[in-house]
């Protein structure tokens, strides 16, 4: 029942045992990825860095209202500069078609103020152009809120100025190129000469108000005028 082991069998078993020990002592390593896989990981990391982070939001474009508006030929913030830059500054007051009052026997009157030329409001001035035919009369009138300057541009005529006390402060003839200053509330009347009279009046208010002697008589009852001047009712109505 005994078995004899030959030396060859013993050597073969020893070699098998040595191989088993070497296999157990060798450390195990995870399998390696191919080289192209690492390059793909680097590209993924670069793409993540290029994307904006939530703690740094992208800048928004400037709003339209932050930009300065531009007018016609000038910059403006509130519209005032644009109105001044585009404001009309020229007007021919001597045109017969622009006359406010016309009488074929006496003449015509043209008025220019801030209502017809808004730029005059900035300067506080208004103007009036008067053309009187031969022996034509501009009835007595006065300015309620402005002084005036009369400048004769053509012809000659007689001018009379009366102060608030009823005293005549000027009664004479004005010719072309002459100038006369009339204070506020002083009554003035003009009459054209043989060649007529043309003059321009500059007033120190952008919307000067004038009153006429006829307006005073219209406000008085006809009975009072009839008894005061010994006139009939028909004459008072005229």
Reported residue count of the chain is 238
pLDDT by residue (tens digit) across 171-214?
999 999 999 999 999 999 999 999 999 999 999 999 999 988 88
Look at residue 221 and tell me if it is in a domain. Answer: no
pLDDT by residue (tens digit) across 85-105?
677 788 888 888 888 999 999
Strands 210-212 and 168-175, bridge-based pairing: unpaired
Instruction: Kindly state the average pLDDT of the residues 212-221.
Output: 81
168 phi, psi to nearest 5 deg? -75, 120
* Longest CA–CA separation in the chain, Å: 186
pLDDT by residue (tens digit) across 5-34?
445 555 555 555 655 555 555 555 555 555
Instruction: Kindly state the average pLDDT of the residues 41-52.
Output: 54
Residue 33: its pLDDT value, please? 55
Look at residue 25 and tell me if it is in a domain. Answer: no
Q: What is the CATH number of the domain that holds 204?
A: 2.60.120.10
Distances (CA, A) of 191 to 73, 78, 150, 181: 48, 50, 14, 17
Look at residue 166 and tell me if it is in a domain. Answer: yes
Look at residue 234 and tell me if it is in a domain. Answer: no
Residue 16 is encoded by which pair of tokens? 């098998």
- Cα–Cα distance between 135 and 103 in angstroms, integer? 13
Residue 73: its pLDDT value, please? 46
Residue ranges making up the domain that contains 160: 96-212
b or e along 82-115 (b: 16 or more beta carbons within 10 Å of the residue's beta carbon)?
Answer: beeeeeeeeeeeeeeeebeeeeeebbbbbbbbbe
Look at residue 154 and tell me if it is in a domain. Answer: yes
Q: Give how many domains the chain has, as a whole number.
A: 1
Percent of the chain with pLDDT over 70: 63
Residue 185: its pLDDT value, please? 93
Instruction: Kindly state the average pLDDT of the residues 103-121.
Output: 91
Please check the confidence at residue 40 and state whether its pLDDT lies above 80: no
Cβ–Cβ contacts within 10 Å for residue 129, how many?
Answer: 21
Instruction: Kindly state the average pLDDT of the residues 71-83.
Output: 53
pTM: 0.60
Residue 54: its pLDDT value, please? 53
The pLDDT-based confidence of 63 (bands split at 50, 70, 90) is low
Look at residue 124 and tell me if it is in a domain. Answer: yes
Look at residue 157 and tell me if it is in a domain. Answer: yes
Residue 138: its pLDDT value, please? 94
Q: Give 69 or 46, the one with higher predicted confidence.
A: 46
Q: Give 44 or 85, the one with higher predicted confidence.
A: 85
- Cα–Cα distance between 198 and 225 in angstroms, integer? 34
The pLDDT-based confidence of 233 (bands split at 50, 70, 90) is confident
Residue 103 is encoded by which pair of tokens? 């009488």
Unique residue bearing structure tokens 């402060």: 169
Look at residue 168 and tell me if it is in a domain. Answer: yes
Instruction: Kindly state the average pLDDT of the residues 61-71.
Output: 51
Q: What DSSP element (H or E) covers 215?
A: helix 213-219
Q: What DSSP element (H or E) covers 28?
A: none
């Amino acid at each position: 029942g005994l078995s004899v082991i030959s030396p060859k069998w013993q050597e073969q078993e020893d070699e098998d045992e040595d191989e088993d020990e070497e296999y157990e002592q060798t450390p195990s390593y995870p399998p390696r990825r191919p080289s192209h896989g690492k390059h793909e990981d680097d590209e993924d990391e670069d793409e993540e860095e290029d994307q904006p982070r939530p703690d740094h939001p992208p800048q928004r474009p400037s709003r339209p209202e932050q930009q300065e508006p531009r007018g016609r030929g000038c910059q403006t913030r509130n519209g005032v500069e644009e109105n001044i830059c585009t404001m009309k500054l020229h007007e021919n007051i001597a045109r017969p078609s622009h006359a406010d009052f016309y009488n074929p026997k006496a003449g015509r009157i043209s008025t220019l103020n801030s209502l017809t030329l808004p730029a005059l409001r900035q300067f506080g001035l208004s103007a009036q152009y008067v053309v009187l035919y031969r022996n034509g009369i501009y009835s007595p009138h006065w300015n309620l809120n402005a002084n005036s300057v009369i400048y004769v541009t053509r012809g000659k005529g007689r001018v009379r100025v009366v102060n608030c006390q009823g005293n005549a402060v000027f009664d004479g003839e004005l010719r072309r190129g002459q100038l006369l200053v009339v204070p506020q509330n002083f009554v003035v009347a003009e009459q054209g000469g043989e060649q007529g009279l043309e003059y321009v009046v500059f007033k120190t208010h952008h919307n000067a108000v004038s009153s006429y002697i006829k307006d005073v008589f219209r406000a008085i009852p006809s009975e009072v005028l009839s008894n005061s001047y010994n006139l009939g009712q028909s004459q008072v109505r005229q």
